[in-house]
Amino acid sequence: MSDKKEEGTVEEPLDLIRLSLDERIFVKMRQDRELKGKLHAYDQHLNMILSDVEETIKVVEKDEETDEEIVKSIKRNIKMLFIRGDGVILINF
């Protein structure tokens, strides 16, 4: 009975992260970085391991037609990634 309670309910913020193991999550990081990937591991510092990660970075670039500076998104894919918790701002499920 007590085990069931432990697995199913959310008493504190980290419980929700536990329930997202093996699910895809969205992570907003410092330095304007965003990650989407499947959560496989985490600890109390919010260090994490995600797989099949898509990272989106925002960069400022000159638009070639208008010659104006615009914000562009750059994406890259990473198979398996460890993320250090101190860069995490928020997690979306």
Partner 1 sequence: MLFYSFYKTLVGKEITVELKNDLSITGLLQSVDQFLNIKLKDIKINEEQKYPYMLSVRNCFIRGSVVRYVHLPAEDVDVETLQDHSRLEAREQKKMQQMQQQQQQQSSK
Partner 2 sequence: MSFGSAGLGDEVDKKLIVVLRDGRKYIGIMRTYDQFANIILQDTIERAYCGEYYSDKSLGVFFIRGDNVVILGEIDTEKESLEKKLIKVSWDEIQRMLQIEKQKREEEEQLKKRVMAESGLTFDSILNLDDF
Give the footprint of partner 1 on this chain (CB under 8 A): 6, 14-15, 18, 21-22, 29, 31, 40-44, 47, 49, 51, 78-84, 86-87
B/e letters for 16-32, b = 16+ CB within 10 Å, e = fewer, are ebeebeeeebebebeee
Q: What is the DSSP annotation of 30-79?
A: TTTEEEEEEEEEE-TT--EEEEEEEEEEEEEEE-TTT--EEEEEEEEEEE
For residue 63, the partner it binds in partner 1, partner 2, none, with Cβ less than 5 to 8 A by kind, is: none
Q: Which residue, 1 or 68, has its beta carbon nearer to partner 1?
A: 1
CB of 60 to partner 2, least distance (A): 4
Binders of partner 2 among 45-74, rule CB under 8 A?
58, 60, 69-71
